[in-house]
Amino acid sequence: MSLDIAAIRASAVRIAPYVKRTPVLTSDALDDACGGRLFFKCENLQAAGAFKARGAGNAVFSLTDAEAAHGVVTHSSGNHAAAVARAAGLRGVPAFIVMPHNAPQSKVRNVERYGGRITYCEPSLTVREQTCARLAAETGAALVHPFDDYRVMAGAGTATLELLEEVPDLDLVLCPVGGGGLLCGTAVAAKGAKPGVRVVGVEPEQASDVAQSFRAGRRISIAATPTIADGLRTNCTGEKNFPLIREHVDDVVTVSEDAIVAAMRALWENLKVVVEPSGAVPFAGVREGRVDARGKKIGVILTGGNVDLDSLLWMKK
């Protein structure tokens, strides 16, 4: 199994009853500021508050009845966890969720809301994967990996299919990158639906494993470092993801923590939407000049809106 435009189109049909077709918003003020035209695909308004509903839904509903009989298991800092718990609930099977103990409380509450059975662990990808493997062995649950899974990538790519149906003449599509699942789905969907469109991944400077790997031409693992973009805190891109990134992605750039906060605030002020730090990362690439927007039509995927409103980051400035 691999990933192609046919798989993404098939997943769009599969998940249609379970996800929203999210709006595409624009802002004259943001266009004037960057010198291009920006089209924001608002996955912050998606079911469970993030694009992850697409990939998780496709993975869970791709399972046979025998495969799903003992439920599903995954590890995630939040959005994928909630999306898997939601999809499992819709399928009528249990969801065993491994979360780092420092996961944002807004995201923990979202998982609990959908009935996910949480097991906490140390905030390390290695520990998360080990805990997840143990739970899978104990329960017989099927693994739904947060990014290194072709079914998850295919579901994620449906957001870009919708975006290009609404704005077919885009020059460039931007999305955040952590493990690489969304970036793979975005790139394969974009190149399959509109050959010639460029795809760029945007990553926090403090979690730049994909950018470093992209430049080196090999997977690079980095030490975990803090970033406000908690959904992008990976230290190495997936084995299945990296070949697809090398084949289909045009560039991967990084942004500062301050730029992420500024992007969140600008989106709130101009689009009147709340976007979490990870979701604001691609727009931060435009605001910080890491992506040249001048004269271009750019699709920007705002991936999630699960923000702790008691601690809005720009209120600390």
* Number of domains present in the structure of the chain: 2
- Which residue of the set 41, 52, 191, 240 is catalytic? 52
Answer yes or no: do 218 and 301 share one domain: yes
Last residue of some domain: 128, 143, 158? 143
What phi and psi values does residue 115 have, to the nearest 5 degrees?
85, 15
pTM for the full model? 0.94
Same domain, 281 and 179: yes
Residues 28 and 61 in one domain: no
Q: Do 217 and 175 sit in the same domain of this protein? A: yes
CA 283 vs CA 31, 38, 161, 163, 250: distances in Å: 12, 9, 20, 16, 17
- Each residue's pLDDT, cut to its tens digit, for the chain (317 residues) gives 789 999 999 999 999 999 999 999 999 999 999 999 999 999 999 999 999 999 999 999 999 999 999 999 999 988 999 999 999 999 999 999 999 998 888 889 999 999 999 999 998 888 999 999 999 999 999 999 999 999 999 999 999 999 999 999 999 999 999 999 999 999 999 999 999 999 999 999 999 999 999 999 999 998 877 899 988 888 778 899 999 999 999 999 999 999 999 999 999 999 999 999 999 999 999 999 999 999 999 999 999 998 877 766 656 54
Containing H/E element for 185?
helix 181-193
Here the CATH number for the domain that contains residue 128 is: 3.40.50.1100
- Of the candidates 77, 208, 213, 278, the residue annotated as catalytic is 77
Based on the fold, state whether residues 112 and 247 are members of the same structural domain: no
Is 107 among the catalytic positions? no
Residue holding tokens 């017989």?
140
φ/ψ (deg, to 5) at 98: -100, 125
Which residues 6+ apart lie within 8 Å of 96 measured at CB? 71, 72, 73, 74, 116, 117, 119, 135, 136, 139, 141
Q: How far is it, in rounded angstroms, from Cα 182 to Cα 249? A: 12
User: What amino acid occupies position 121?
Assistant: C
Residue 101: give the domain boundaries: 53-143
Residues across the chain: 317
Judge whether 297 counts as a catalytic residue: no
* Same domain membership, residue 165 and residue 108: no
Q: What is d(CA 122, CA 173) in angstroms, rounded to the nearest whole number?
A: 34
Which of these three, 143, 168, 190, is where a domain ends?
A: 143
Is residue 229 helix, strand or coil?
coil
Q: Is 179 left (phi over 0), alpha (psi -120 to 50) or beta?
A: alpha
Handedness of CA 60, 179, 287, 194 (dihedral sign): negative
One domain, residues 116 and 159 = no
- In terms of domains, do 111 and 255 share one? no
Clarify whether residues 164 and 293 are in a common domain.
Answer: yes
Answer yes or no: do 217 and 167 share one domain. Answer: yes
- CA–CA dist 248, 199 (Å, integer): 8
In this structure, the answer to whether residues 258 and 176 fall within a common structural domain is yes
169 and 34 part of one domain: yes
Residue that finishes a domain, picked among 125, 143, 161 = 143
Q: 100: which DSSP letter?
A: E
